[in-house]
Amino acid sequence: AQKVTQAQTEISVVEKEDVTLDCVYETRDTTYYLFWYKQPPSGELVFLIRRNSFDEQNEISGRYSWNFQKSTSSFNFTITASQVVDSAVYFCALSAALNTGFQKLVFGTGTRLLVSP
């Protein structure tokens, strides 16, 4: 069975602070993908990043960076110099990748990030 755990329910920071959102996953699949999505108050799911299980290289995109560590089954997300517009719920998700293709997404319970001015 697959499981994604986001232990932080809510994080509050002040603008310009750095913040890290934790994600720990469980899967028996050897090939899988990990995702981060942002859900602003308007409700849509905004895709942020996809990582496959064979690529442990960290990634940086502007103020966003991701740290994937297979040894600890973690895929953490850091926002540098947070801004008020970063306020949203962030979901980490996992999908097995079988020879039939991507499977359903299993989401964590989300972390609500509040960035105050």
**C-alpha span between 57 and 104 (Å, rounded):** 24
Site string for another protein, 29-58 (x = CB under 8 A): --------x-----xxx-x--x--------
Report the residue number, 17 or 29, with the smaller CB distance to another protein: 29
Report the residue number, 6 or 82, with the smaller CB distance to another protein: 6
Other C-beta atoms closer than 10 Å to the C-beta of 12 total: 12
CB 37 within 8 A of CB 49: no
Site string for another protein, 64-103 (x = CB under 8 A): ---------------------------x---x----xxxx
Give the three-state DSSP class for 71: helix
Q: Examine residue 13 and tell whether it contacts another protein (CB under 8 A).
A: no
> In terms of Cα–Cα distance, which of 35, 42, 44 is closest to 94?
35
Report the residue number, 8 or 103, with the smaller CB distance to another protein: 103
Q: Examine residue 2 and tell whether it contacts another protein (CB under 8 A).
A: no
- CA 77, 15, 44, 3 torsion-angle sign: positive
DSSP classification of residue 112: E
* One residue of 11, 64, 67, 107 binding another protein per CB under 8 A: 107
Binding site for another protein (CB under 8 A): 37, 43-45, 47, 50, 91, 95, 100-110
